[in-house]
Amino acid sequence: MSELLRAHDDALVAVAGGRYEWIGRMIRAAVTRPKSGRIGRTERLDRWVTHPIWGVGILGAVLGLVFALTYAIGTPLQEALGTYVIGGLADSATSLLAGAPEWLSGLVVDGIIGGTGFVLTFLPVLAIFFAAMAVLEDVGYMARAAYVMDGAMHALGLHGKSFLPLFLGFGCNVPAVLGARVIESRRARLLTILLAPLVPCVARLTVVTFLAPAFFGPYAALVSWGLLLLALAVLAVSGILINRLVLKGKRAAFVMELPLYHAPNLRTIAFSVWRRSREFVKRAGTVILPVAVGVWALSVLPHGEVETSYLATAGQWVAPLGGLIGFDWRMIVALITSFVASENSLASLGVLLGVEPGQGLRSALSAQYSPAAGLAFMAVQMLFVPCVGTLAAMRQETRSWGWTLFSVAFLLVVSLLVGAALYWTANLGGL
Whether 219 is in a domain gets the answer yes
Query: At residue 95, does pLDDT exceed 50?
Result: yes
Whether 288 is in a domain gets the answer yes
Whether 5 is in a domain gets the answer no
Query: At residue 85, does pLDDT exceed 50?
Result: yes
Whether 251 is in a domain gets the answer yes
Q: For residue range 208-252, list pLDDT tens digits in order.
A: 888 888 888 888 888 988 998 899 899 888 888 888 887 766 655
Total of domains in the chain: 1
Opening angle at CA 75, ends 341 and 326, nearest 5: 55
Whether 6 is in a domain gets the answer no
Tell me the pTM: 0.68
- Pick from 103, 164, 176: nearest CA to 137: 164
Whether 319 is in a domain gets the answer yes
Query: At residue 379, does pLDDT exceed 90?
Result: yes
Query: At residue 367, does pLDDT exceed 70?
Result: yes
Those residues with Cβ within 8 angstroms of residue 409's Cβ, 6 or more apart along the chain or in another chain: none
Are the C-beta atoms of 90 and 109 separated by less than 8 Å? Answer: yes
3-class state of residue 283 by DSSP:
helix
Those residues with Cβ within 8 angstroms of residue 156's Cβ, 6 or more apart along the chain or in another chain: 162, 191, 195, 236, 239, 240, 243
**Three-class DSSP labels, 364-414:** HHHHHCCHHHHHHHHHHHHHCCCCHHHHHHHHHHHCCHHHHHHHHHHHHHH
Whether 63 is in a domain gets the answer yes
Cβ count near 342 (within 10 Å): 26
Q: For residue range 282-329, list pLDDT tens digits in order.
A: 766 666 677 667 767 777 777 666 667 777 777 778 777 777 888 888
Q: What is the dihedral of CA 161, 166, 168, 173, to 10 degrees?
A: 140
Distance in angstroms (rounded) separating the CA atoms of residues 371 and 352 = 19
Whether 57 is in a domain gets the answer yes
- Pick from 253, 219, 196: nearest CA to 394: 196
Query: At residue 61, does pLDDT exceed 70?
Result: yes
Q: For residue 180, what are the domain limits?
A: 49-428
Distance in angstroms (rounded) separating the CA atoms of residues 385 and 391 = 9
pLDDT of residue 390: 77
